[in-house]
């Protein structure tokens, strides 16, 4: 991964994390700045890892199909493919439109179908299915971790002595 693409992936992860964390911070005014910074750094790392793993996960799923022929190495991101994900912070805000966020991710995923199909030797529809399953699977895993951390954080706050 080139330094430019890596920078774009990290910025896209930051935008996704900010889009998820800032509405929470707006509702809870008692959150301290160091906690917000820690949440943003952690969220950026998790979201960036998820974005970086999406092509590899889709390619791995495509390689598992019975009619796949290994023709090339796993595809990676290009700057043109990752750049639209920088809009994630604006679009991820719940009041501005989860549907727009879904449309953005669908467009980015559609751009990933061609490289996955070419690298794995499967057809376009099979590659599209693998990209979709990989995207939904990674998003579900991150959401499960997010909810778990939220519950642990909420329970730990309630259990602290006054």
pLDDT (tens digit, 9 = 90+) per residue, 9-21?
898 888 888 877 8
The answer to whether the predicted template modeling score (pTM) of the entire model surpasses 0.75 is yes
Model pLDDT for residues 54-101, shown as the tens digit of each residue: 999 999 999 888 887 777 788 888 888 888 777 665 555 555 567 777
CA 160 to chain CA mean position, Å: 33
Q: Where are the domains of the chain?
A: 3-159
What count of other Cβ atoms lies within 10 Å of the Cβ of residue 120? 27
Q: What is the mean pLDDT of residues 102-117?
A: 88
C-alpha distances out from residue 49 to 4, 117, 130, 144, Å: 16, 22, 18, 15
pLDDT of the residue at 140: 92
pLDDT, averaged across the chain = 82
Q: Is 102 exposed, middle or buried (0-12, 13-18, 19+ CB in 10 A)?
A: exposed
């Amino acid at each position: 991964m080139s330094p430019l693409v890596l920078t774009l992936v990290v910025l896209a992860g930051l935008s996704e994390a900010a889009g998820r964390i800032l509405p929470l911070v707006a509702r809870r005014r008692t959150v301290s700045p160091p906690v917000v910074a820690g949440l943003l750094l952690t969220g950026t790392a998790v979201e960036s890892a998820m974005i970086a793993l999406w092509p590899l996960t889709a390619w791995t799923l495509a390689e598992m199909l019975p009619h796949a022929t290994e023709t090339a190495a796993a595809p990676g991101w290009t700057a043109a493919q990752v750049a639209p994900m920088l809009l994630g912070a604006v679009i991820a805000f719940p009041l501005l439109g989860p549907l727009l966020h879904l449309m953005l991710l669908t467009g980015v995923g559609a751009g990933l179908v061609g490289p996955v199909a070419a690298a794995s030797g499967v057809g376009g529809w099979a590659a599209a299915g693998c990209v979709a399953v990989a995207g939904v699977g990674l998003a579900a895993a991150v959401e499960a971790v997010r909810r778990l951390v939220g519950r642990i954080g909420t329970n730990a706050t309630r259990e602290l002595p006054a």
